[in-house]
Structure 1
């Protein structure tokens, strides 16, 4: 059979492996951070380790957004207001545009979620209960900074739960009733072949770049805390 006669692939690459690992690892760490507040984590030691690990994953994802696979790059999925309006209009008309990576709304929702998780983790560095829990940066923070960070750490917790719940609900509903099973695609990395608004298939990122991003992320988080005078090891 010639190349011309070869059947089209049934599925195409949508998300590369580092992107998928970062997403599911971040989801797991956030869940463990919530759980550790209620299930026997005396002194919230594991809670703080979860927070540091979350920061490492977030820094990795930030770097990967510039050098990673095509659908992981911010330049690919952060589109202007016009694209978002066009996408919403297509939804309302019942003829939604289909994207291999994030849709215009999904891209900004992802950025908002990353920003909120990052803010929660950063405020945790300076948070304290004034009894047994002291964040890694409390040794060099003023009492006013610690009080403000502690208050915001508790406040953002509620917003983060709400946004996470909405994120899960939207993905679940779209996976059930939409053209693409987003949850399955983020596990397998592949979607059904078809017509998409962005280039198909996705271009995977380099394993070497992924490892480099991970090393830089670890150095930035732990080295940054140490250089600032904090204690990076709870």
Structure 2
């Protein structure tokens, strides 16, 4: 395995694309969303964990919103906020190699990221005002009308849930297609942080800052998320 990897990366230069905070966010989000889905399916006493996982997702989303502004170069929203024309050219295979659209999030990958983050935000928001009319209510339910709570609950348990699972499945399929068809490994860089690029490309690509000073900023951003989650939890008494 190691010899194969060395052969693949021979002559390539590593460039730090995904900083530590971004990688930790990604895998923590995977665990929390998985936990939220599984605990919801189990129901009963496991719903307490569903709410905990939901609050953890809220904290992570707040962190990602902040980190999308102050994080490493390739984690900033500005690095993967593409014009529609760029997306169309990329989808049609007409992108200019000089654009380096596959270093960070590609145009189609960016759509997936924004869609997942947006849908997760809606799922969290609707869950916070939901009422299962049995034993569980969201901590912010007292701030909305009954009709709003019922509509939010319906979305959270039906359309929202299935759209989220569909987007996750699409995301996994895209990773597999990139790996098998395009020979482009998207998982390893999200684990190790670096992408191995041809020397000419690596010389022109900015690396994401990833050092102790940046980690302190990330911790501050996460603290904001945790504070928001704790405040929300406190509203439920």
Query: The TM-score by the shorter chain falls in which range?
Result: 0.7 to 0.9
Q: How many residues align?
A: 222
| 1:169 and 2:173 correspond | yes
Distance 1:37 1:177 in 2: 35
Gaps of 5+ in 2: 1-9
Whether contact under 8 Å (2:23, 2:191) holds in the other structure is yes
TM-score normalised over the length of structure 1: 0.85
Alpha-carbon distance, 1:182 to partner: 0.1
Superposition pairs of residues 77-96 of structure 1, within 5 angstroms: 77-90=80-93
1:214 is aligned to 222
| 1:182 and 2:186 correspond | yes
Distance 2:94 2:178 in 1: 12
Q: 1:37 to 1:56 in 2, by over 3 A?
A: same
Distance 1:91 1:32 in 2: 40
What's the secondary structure of 1:15's corresponding residue?
coil
Residue 199 of structure 1: which of 196, 205, 215 is its match? 205
Spell out, residue by residue over 1:110-146, the C-alpha distance to the aligned partner (whole angstroms, 9 max, x if none).
0111000111111000111111111111233321121
Distance 1:179 1:200 in 2: 23
Gaps of 5+ in 1: 1-6
* C-alpha RMSD of matched pairs (Å): 2.6
What's the secondary structure of 1:90's corresponding residue?
coil
TM-score normalised over the length of structure 2: 0.84
1:150 is aligned to 153
1:3 is aligned to none
Whether contact under 8 Å (1:55, 1:118) holds in the other structure is yes
Structure with the largest fraction of helix? 2
